[in-house]
Homo-oligomer: A and B are copies of this chain.
Amino acid sequence: MKRVHLLGSTGSIGQTSERVLGELSTTHRVVGLASGRGGASFLAQVARMAPEAIAIADDDGAEAAARALRDQPIRVYGGANAAAQLVEAVPAEVVLNGITGARGLAASFAAVRRGADLALANKESMVMAGPLLARAAATTGSRILPVDSEHSAIFQCLHREPLRSVRRIVLTASGGPFRTTPAAELDHVTPAQALRHPTWTMGAKITIDSATLLNKALEVVEARWLFALPADQIAAVVHPQSIVHSMVEFCDGSILAQLGVPDMAVPIRFALAYPERSVTRDSYFDLARFKVLTFEEPDLARFPGLGLGFRAARAGGTAGAVLNAANEVAVAAFLDGALPFQRIATTVAAVLDAVPHVDEPTLEQVLAADAAARAEATACCC
């Protein structure tokens, strides 16, 4: 049995992962669960999956869980670093990191340092500290298996082909809910409108990112480190149906693409079962959904957020951490009604200009850049 930690278990990725792990019950066993707040839905997961240990970032939530579980042989870790502590303390072969945002970074490092495979849905880990995380993984032999649909697609298309054969990778973007919205109207977009994603069901933060195309910007930086490809070998194309999840163009004129219904269960299943492919009954080729697939150039004028991704990927160093931190603050401000939609990207751009760049940062310097970007973004947004 593969021992699995599921981090961020009550979120959108966590819930889908629980469903996939249900399919994999003869080969995989959940030994650790981590949540930000805990609460009733998390305790229900604990009851269903019966892990050996749990982690809750929120101190009150951790205390409440410890009380509720006091008669059971389940260790409880509490506090901001609880998920990383859980990973350090409890052996596992796979750590699925579905924590949202920069808070997921420590657990990613804990996983690769232990030599566990890291099924990575927390793209911020790669965006902020890709080279450091990749180096740590190389030291222990840990494999980083992307759970983003786009990066899982590229990982599958690259399957055992050498990087020298790759001309470029092409990330697909749905274009989000405002793909065809005129520029003038984008100024007046509400959080409720931005949360209505046309093809994917995801968490709030990533859904807003999908509307600004900053999600794709983060994915460009993620791809840059995950696949060790320079920014000029990464492209993005809008594909509204979200059926082609990304492509790899090889130097010989061949293109491989990974396709499927837009269901995060597919990349989750792939990462958990890797290098095997596990059998599922759902999520197959459905001609009705594949009837018409279209592709178009992204509009960088209406969606300047995407361009910031290429800028950060080219800059390297702390630029990814700054991009991500500024965006987290700006999206939170937008969701609070404190920042207009189009100001998300301009805020991120201003913060990228303002925070001093470090070219080959240590983890401490990455975290300092993250903090500086948050402070700068908060100043910009308020």
A247-271: contact bitstring with B at CB < 8 Å (1 yes, 0 no)? 1011111111111110101100110
Given known contacts A252-B266, A256-B157, A295 and B290 CB-to-CB distance under 8 angstroms: yes
Count of chain A residues near B, Cβ 8 A: 48
State whether A283 and B253 are in contact (beta carbons under 8 Å apart), knowing that A165-B276, A291-B295, A294-B292 are contacts in the complex.
Answer: yes
Contact of A10 with B by CB under 8 A: no
Question: For the complex formed by this chain, how many copies does it contain in all?
Answer: 2
Does the CB pair A253–B263 fall under 8 Å? yes
Other-chain contact of A287, B256, B266, B290, B295 (Cβ < 8 Å):
B295
A156 interface residue per 8 A CB criterion = yes
Check if A273 is an interface residue, CB within 8 A of chain B.
yes
User: Could you mark each residue 265-285 of chain A with 1 if its beta carbon is under 8 Å from any beta carbon of chain B, else 0?
Assistant: 110011001001111101111
Q: Does A161 contact B (CB under 8 A)?
A: yes
- Contact status of A255 and B170, CB under 8 A, knowing A290-B295, A292-B293: no
A285 touches which of B157, B165, B247, B279 (Cβ 8 Å): B247
A292 to chain B: closest CB distance in Å? 5
Q: Closest B-chain residue to A261, C-beta based? A: B253
Inter-chain contacts of A296 with B (CB < 8 A): 287, 291
**Bound Cα distance A287, B255 (Å):** 12
A160 contacts B by Cβ under 8 Å:
yes
Which residues A154-185 have CB closer than 8 A to chain B?
156-157, 159-161, 165, 167, 170
Q: Does A297 contact B (CB under 8 A)?
A: yes
Q: Complex Cα distance A286/B295, Å?
A: 10
- The interface residues of chain B lying within 8 Å CB-to-CB of A170 are 285
Alpha-carbon gap, A273 to B253, bound state (A): 12
Q: A249 is contacted by which of B276, B285, B292 (Cβ under 8 Å)?
A: B285
Q: Which of B161, B257, B277, B283 contacts A161 (CB 8 A)?
A: B277
Taking a contact as CB atoms under 8 Å apart, the answer to whether A251 and B237 are in contact is no
Quick check: A250 and B277 within 8 Å, CB to CB?
Answer: yes
**Chain B residues near A160 (CB-CB < 8 A):** 159-160
- Residue on B with the closest CB to A293? B293
Query: Please, what's the 1-or-0 string for A338-365, where 1 marks a CB less than 8 Å from any CB in chain B?
Result: 0000000000000000000000000000
Q: Chain B nearest CB: distance from A247 CB in Å?
A: 7
Q: Is the CB of A251 within 8 A of B278?
A: yes
Query: Max chain B CB contacts within 10 Å: which of A170, A237, A285?
Result: A285
Closest chain B residue to A276, Cβ basis: B165
Contacts of A297 in B (CB 8 A): 287
Partner of A294, one of B257, B280, B291, B295: B291
Q: How far is the CA of A206 from the CA of B25 in the complex (A)?
A: 49
A280 to B249, CA, bound (A): 12
Closest to A241 in B: B293
Asked if B251 and A279 make an inter-chain contact with CB atoms under 8 angstroms apart, the answer reads yes
By Cβ-Cβ distance, the 9 closest A-B pairs, closest first, are A253-B283, A165-B277, A255-B259, A252-B277, A293-B293, A251-B279, A253-B266, A290-B295, A257-B257
A residues touching B (Cβ–Cβ < 8 Å)? 156-157, 159-161, 165, 167, 170, 237, 244, 247, 249-261, 263, 265-266, 269-270, 273, 276-280, 282-285, 287, 290-297
| 16 pairs from A and B in contact (CB 8 Å cutoff) | A159-B161, A160-B160, A165-B276, A167-B284, A247-B285, A249-B284, A252-B278, A253-B261, A253-B269, A254-B266, A254-B270, A256-B256, A257-B259, A287-B296, A291-B296, A292-B294
